[in-house]
Structure 1
Amino acid sequence: MTQRTPSSQPGHRHAATVAGFALLLGSAAAAQPAPPRVVATHPAAGAVVPAGPLTLSVTFDRPMRTDGYSFIGGPPLFPDCAPKPTVSADRRTFTLDCKVVAGRSYQVGFNNLVHRNFVGEDGQPATPAAIRFQAR
C-alpha cells in the first residue's frame, strides 16, 4: 500500500499553484505605492473667511506633475477664481487667486472619479478630496 502526501494527490498540485499565484498577485498589489493625498488646504475645511480676495490652495504629500490639475466645482458653490493655478517650487502646492462673496457657502473638490488631473510624478492620480467653507 502506498501513501500519498498532499502535494502528490491529484488536484492538490493545482490548488498549490493557484494559491502561489494569488500570493504573487497580492504581493504585487501591496508593492504599489499609495496614491498622492491632500495634506493641507487654504482655507481649511469648515473655515469662515472674510469676503473679498482669497488665496485658495491645496498641498499634496509629494511632488505632483504640473501639466494638469482638477479643481472641481461650479456655480454657485465654486468661487470666482483665476483660470490657472500657480505651482510651488517643490511642486506640492497649487494656488488659485479667487474672490468670495459675504454670506455665501463654497465647495471645492480636488480630483473626483471623472476628473483626475492632480497626478503624482509616477502618474498615479491623487485621492479625491473636497473642502467646504463660508465667506462672512
Structure 2
Amino acid sequence: MFYAVDKRDKILRNATNTLLDFIVESVPAELSAVVAVLNLEKQGQYFQLDPNVAVWSVNDKYVWIGPPRVARGFVLISNENISEYSEDGGVPEKFSIKQFLSAVDHWNYFCAVRSEKSEMELLGKKFEAII
C-alpha cells in the first residue's frame, strides 16, 4: 500500500486518496506523460487550452496543472469517488510540482526494488520518503 502519514504515523487521507492513488493507478507510460507536462509547467511553457477540463484523469482522479485552477508550480487533484475530495461538493487537494515529482520518484524506486526482489525479501519492509 502506498500512503502518506504525518509525524505521528496517522494516515493522511487527503494525500493518499488523491496524489498517491493517482500515481499508483496510472500505468507507467501515462505517468511519464504527466511528468513531461509537469516539466513544461515548471519551465513556464505549458498553457491549458480549456481550464474547465482536467489535464489528465485516471480512475476518476482528475488533475489540473497550473493556472487558472491553481497557481503556477502547483497541481490540483480530485478524487470523484470520495465526495470530500471531489469537484462536486468537495475540495480537490493542492500539491506542489516538487511534491508530485518526489512521490513519483519514490513510487518508481519502490517498483524497481519490487522487480528485483522476491515478495518474501520485501515482506515487512518499509519504503519511506519525505515529500
- TM-score range, shorter-chain basis? under 0.3
**Which structure features the higher share of strand residues?**
1
Q: RCO higher in 1 or 2 (8 Å CA, sep ≥ 6)?
A: 1
- Normalising by the residue count of structure 2, what TM-score does the alignment of the two structures yield? 0.27
TM-score normalised per structure 1: 0.27
Larger Rg: 1
